[in-house]
Structure 1
Amino acid sequence: MLSSNETTIEVLHHATIQFNRYLSIIIYLFGTVGNILNVIILSQKKFRSNSCAFIFLISSIASLIAILSGLTNRMIAGWTVDLTFTINWLCQLRAMVLFTSRTIVLWLITLATIDRWLLSCFNVRRQQMRTLKTAQQCTIIIIIFSILLNAPIIYCYEANLLETPVQCYGKTAACRIYTDIMYGCGSILIPSLVMTSFSIMIILNIRKTRRRIGIFNISTNHVRRQRQTKKRDRRLLIMLLVQVTFIVVLTFPQAIQKLYATITLDFNSSSKSILQIAIEDLIFNFVVLLTYLANGLPFYIYTLSGGNVFRNACWQLIRAFGQTITCQNN
């Protein structure tokens, strides 16, 4: 008869497997479809000249890559052998692509937040700084930075490891410390803090702008000249702020888990009980899935918070697709 600890360990192990097996499939399907629709919609002519929409477009592509490179093997691992756990070059390639694409996504959303902050500024010069060309240049810089930041993964990661959260992981203590801190801070904590800071500054700028307009109207008693942001820009701002909230909520737990793993690094696992290891394994897998959820939600966030601007573009796409099918059938 199993002891209470053994039963708990079995339950935790079973829960971990079920998370990876079924929750991965749900996130994979909805995330893949959502990001593909994002790419198609944001590629439309009406969005091409908008710097924030361009950033959302590239971010959606990076999110799609993150989901495909990360969740595919997790779903497979729930049913059969995961080759990235046993073949070195596959392990390194997957880790490099996955972490680089995640880093790109988070820093691009940070860039979008800065873009919206510039738009919200009362200073005209700052508003003029946000151009499509600037967004494109910054995007290239972010991609290069993300690749360089994650480049050591090619050396650090190795397959067939034991006593690690997954078999494809950092092979030495130095590697694990670097990759955990690099990802936890460079890819999650820092961009999340920057996003949050600029989001607060955007809200403050909007309030200041309204206050100035109100004072101007009262003092002059003239016809109101309230300078409003274009409808599309307002909706993009709302979409961005909602997405920032979800990103921070869904990615911060993994940053904390990474830092915890670094602080409690113990390769012999002699000081940890089997129950503690099982709990940490469950938490590790759960917070990892939360980050994939952050990659899969943008389309649904944009649809719900983007107002008629994004929803109309979505319906136009659906109608065009329906007309194409109808024409082919006829």
Structure 2
Amino acid sequence: MNYSNTTISSRSDATLVATLDDTTFQIIRYGSIFIFLFGTIGNAFNILVLSQSPFRSSPCAQLFLFASVEPFQKDSPQKCYDATVACRYVTDLLFTFLPILPLIPMLVFGLLTIQNVRQSRNRTIPTDVSRVPTVGVTVNFNPTNRLKRKDHKLATMLLVQIIILCILSIPLGMDKVYSSVMADMQLSELQVAIGSLLYNIAQLLHFLANAVPFYIYTLVGGNSFRKLFFRLMITGSSCYAYVSLPSIDGETNELLKKIFNSFIGGLSSAVDDDDDVDCSLSILLLFDMLLL
């Protein structure tokens, strides 16, 4: 009876191990492709937008630009990881804290930089009132308020990015601590399969931390980042308005060109408006990019 129960238990464990291994394989296959594609596209857009002239004078934006370039760098393998037990423990300990430690000076110096820039602008830019005599309307123009809003958006981008990076990086550090503690223990096949699944999920989350900054900036980056991004996309998309479609006759092709030009013109006027770009514009631009 005990032998029968042991056999059934071993079979169920083997089935569960096979299921976990297959789940790990599928997560690595599709998760890594998703992160690679969206991360590459997002960081490329970040470099394109943050390198434009409106952001060149902002130290915080330059920090975001450097952070967008860094994921494209190639890391060198850790040759001494398994040299000795001490090397393995030291490497795991460093790998546990290295994803988190840079976030602390990033937060401190980012906030200090924004505060310094805000104070310097308050000293150099006065508040004035300009009148428009042709219309007879008094317009209060306060550039300091606009700059404060921009700095506030940059600070929001920084804080949200740091929080998300912490959430996505901490699981891998915890898994490295667990693997270091359990390294010298005898584990069953089921425990190894569970550990492999958790490790790969934590590693993908760590990679995801390098892929999400663009989408963070687009959602919480304020009007300046979205406007500049949409304007660049419109400028690039408008180049396709004069490309002939060989499978369509000339009259239909010209009609499509006119519709496309009207669509792009409407988007351009909407982006140039002072109000925030609304959700409908974002959806239209998304469909425009997908169709092209």
How far apart, in 1, do the equivalents of 2:178 and 2:234 lie? 49
TM-score, structure 1 length as denominator?
0.57
Query: Please, which of 162, 171, 182 is the counterpart of residue 264 of structure 1?
Result: 182
Larger Rg: 2
Aligned residues: 209
CA drift of 1:252 comes to 0.5
The residue correspondences of 1:154-193 to structure 2 (distance < 5 A) are 155-157=79-81, 170-185=82-97, 187-192=98-103
The residue correspondences of 1:151-300 to structure 2 (distance < 5 A) are 153=78, 155-157=79-81, 170-185=82-97, 187-192=98-103, 228=145, 230-266=148-184, 271-300=186-215
**2:13 counterpart of 1:5:** yes
With 320-329 and 236-245 compared, the bigger mean Cα shift is at: 320-329
Q: Percent of counterpart pairs with the same letter? A: 37
Letter of the structure 2 residue corresponding to residue 272 of structure 1: L
RMSD (Å), alpha carbons:
2.8
Query: Please, which of 21, 24, 27 is the counterpart of residue 16 of structure 1?
Result: 24
Q: Which runs of 5+ in 2 are unaligned?
A: 1-7, 116-141, 245-256, 258-292
Larger fraction in helix: 1
| 1:118-146: CA deviation from partner (whole Å, max 9, x where unpaired) | xxxxxxxxxxxxxxxxxxxxxxxxxxxxx
| 1:78-114: CA deviation from partner (whole Å, max 9, x where unpaired) | xxxxxxxxxxxxxxxx544xxxxxxxxxxxxxxxxxx
**2:40 counterpart of 1:32:** yes
| Cα gap change, 1:9 to 1:196, in 2 (>3 Å) | farther
How far apart, in 1, do the equivalents of 2:65 and 2:192 lie? 40
Structure 2 partner of 1:78: none
TM-score, structure 2 length as denominator?
0.64
Letter of the structure 2 residue corresponding to residue 34 of structure 1: G
Letter of the structure 1 residue corresponding to residue 24 of structure 2: T
With 31-40 and 170-179 compared, the bigger mean Cα shift is at: 170-179
Structure 2 partner of 1:323: 238
Give 3-state SS (helix, strand or coil) of 2:166's partner.
Answer: helix
How far apart, in 2, do the equivalents of 1:248 and 1:304 lie? 19
How far apart, in 1, do the equivalents of 2:30 and 2:62 lie? 33
Contact map agreement 1:31 1:64 (CA 8 A) in 2: no
How far apart, in 2, do the equivalents of 1:95 and 1:282 lie? 24
